[in-house]
Structure 1
């Protein structure tokens, strides 16, 4: 994880990809979003989606999974090289979450984050606030998910 001072506005990071399976779509829906078009092939065919599709929350949760996995890889790599690793703090939230297209069985979504702005925290000077635009894009190049987020990132110097 980079320190706040090392994060550059405009930098984009591909977090990873995930392929949605029928089983995973149904499993997530049974637990968290039991809509017929997430649970049953025939019901999904009759819906406006036309086929079984993932919950938007499932699509968003996989963005978070990709973010955490990428963070763990980056921390392990930096630690192995003896480099200091910045702490990631809490997120004050996100906004403008949009599910732009359905995610169907077999779709592979590639997740990314791009730094849009940053500012030092007035109330917590050891932290900076990083503002990002986050996306999920399917294998056809279609944007299926986007949202804006903010997170506290440790500063190297105070």
Structure 2
């Protein structure tokens, strides 16, 4: 069983490798058909004629896959309190069918709440790379976590 993460476990500079996921063309098209129906996401013929030369994942699909990798890769169900938002998202390279995404969770800053002593905010950068080690997407954001309760194991 993996570690349960609490606010107290995060330190600036920490990097956590979270896992990987391979994307298929069917899921790229299904996601985009519902949420981002631009031709280069949903139409193979139109995508082949686009600047991308083929179907690519929506950036929002890439972010959603990254979120899934984060949730699956970190045990924080007892401590996660959601997020007050993102400071930035960058889609640096297209994600294509057959690509395997890996996500690294980098802690930039931790800030204990002064008004609510049971929690704090962790400022992070998520970095998604493909199977060639190329960075395809970064997300700068923050997450709220509970502090470790008294008596909880490290």
What is the TM-score of this pair, normalised by structure 1?
Answer: 0.87
Q: Deviations over 1:119-151 (max 9, x none)?
A: 111232210110111111011111000011111
1:118-157 equivalences under 5 Å are 118-156=110-148
Distance 1:30 1:4 in 2: 38
Distance 1:5 1:11 in 2: 12
The equivalent residue for 2:45 is 42
Q: Are 1:32 and 2:24 an aligned pair?
A: no
* 2:7–2:79 Cα contact (<8 Å) kept: no
* 1:128–1:155 Cα contact (<8 Å) kept: yes
1:1-158 equivalences under 5 Å are 1-71=4-74, 74=75, 86-156=78-148
Which consecutive residues of structure 2, in runs of 5 or more, have no partner in the other structure? none
Distance 1:157 1:21 in 2: 41
Distance 2:120 2:87 in 1: 19
Give the deviation of 1:90 after TM superposition: 1.9
Q: How many aligned residue pairs are there?
A: 147
Give the deviation of 1:157 after TM superposition: 6.4
The equivalent residue for 1:79 is none
List structure 1 segments (4+ residues) > 3 angstroms apart after TM superposition. none
Distance 1:156 1:102 in 2: 39
* 1:100–1:145 Cα contact (<8 Å) kept: yes
Structure with greater proportional helix content: 1
Give the deviation of 1:88 after TM superposition: 1.0
Distance 1:140 1:124 in 2: 43
What is the TM-score of this pair, normalised by structure 2?
Answer: 0.89
* 1:86–1:155 Cα contact (<8 Å) kept: no
Which consecutive residues of structure 1, in runs of 5 or more, have no partner in the other structure? 76-84
* 2:18–2:105 Cα contact (<8 Å) kept: yes
